[in-house]
Structure 1
């Protein structure tokens, strides 16, 4: 799978110290120029549905599980690999200095029944929910949050916006779905 970009958070000066390794799988779900994203009120941003995959869990199994939890989809079909982001950022747990996150993105189709969303407690507390949004609006929104350096801004917004821009250029701008 192609490497889209390697990111280093501004507070990461070197890769020394204890590092937590995390893989994630995220779905790119399109309907014309609309894209299914997760809006999170706490961070005021749009991100791709998906999330962390256990160390011994297959990426596709993790992707299907995450999409079912976050969107309620009971049927998911992976159409193609899109790429991955390799990033390093500070870890919030004191026993680690860094988190090394590899986020794998896949173009998917899902059913549109969102009745069975099963968000985790922290996702509910953060005000997260699935939403269809025009991809250009999502990009513009995330760019504005980053430009204003909103105090609530989360770590993932840069990664998510990079991939949104690439999806817009390669999948929507190219006229494919």
Structure 2
């Protein structure tokens, strides 16, 4: 998969232990709008998706995560690679640990527009809701609103991927 960009904060010591957390993210485009998960609590947009668990393959993770966060069912035959983003920084949760996350983005279609989310505790606490929005609107919210010290690098990553989709003529 092609690498879209690297976000390396260089705020760590290379001798620290590395914690790797690969993830997959779904890009669902409909009528020039993109399906995004909106956090009511922290006022930002992100692509639906999450971490790979128990050696799952990417497509299995993508289907599970999109079902949980959005309630949408991904058509497995529609999934195509878009690109990846590597994020490296000191851990926000552990001392002397490097957090390394490769985010794999996939274009995909869904089987229907009806949905029922199955959010975990932190997702429910953030008030995750599915919204189809223009890339310009999501980028504007992500870059100009107050996110109450939430993970600014995650928010900027999603904005940069949206810009890439626009540049590539997909939105």
* TM-score, structure 2 as length reference: 0.89
Bigger mean CA offset, 101-110 vs 32-41: 32-41
Give the structure 1 partner of residue 73 of structure 2. Answer: 74
**What's the counterpart of residue 133 of structure 1?**
133
1:160 aligns with 158
**Structure that is richer in strand per residue:** 1
Q: CA deviation at 1:95?
A: 6.2
Corresponding residue for 1:115?
115
Change in CA separation of 1:41 and 1:16 when aligned onto 2, cut-off 3 Å: farther
Shift of 1:153: 3.4
Separation of aligned partners in 1, 2:82 and 2:123 = 25
- Listed one character per residue, the Cα deviations across residues 99-139 of structure 1 (whole Å, up to 9, x for unaligned) are 10000000000134343211111000011111111121111
Relative to structure 2, which stretch is displaced further, 45-54 or 76-85?
76-85
Residue 84 of structure 1 deviates from its aligned partner by 0.2
CA contact (8 A) 1:139 1:164 kept: yes
What's the Cα RMSD here?
A: 2.0
Q: 1:96 to 1:56 in 2, by over 3 A?
A: farther
CA distance in 2, matches of 1:96, 1:114: 44
Structure 2: distance between partners of 1:144 and 1:112: 33
* TM-score normalised according to structure 1 size: 0.86
Cα offset, 1:42, TM superposition: 2.7
* Contact 1:23–1:55 (CA under 8 A) maintained in structure 2: no
Q: Which runs of 5+ in 1 are unaligned?
A: none
Query: Aligned pair count?
Result: 169
CA shift digits 1:53-74 (9 cap, x unpaired): 1251111110111011111123
Distance 1:9 1:41, change over 3 A: farther
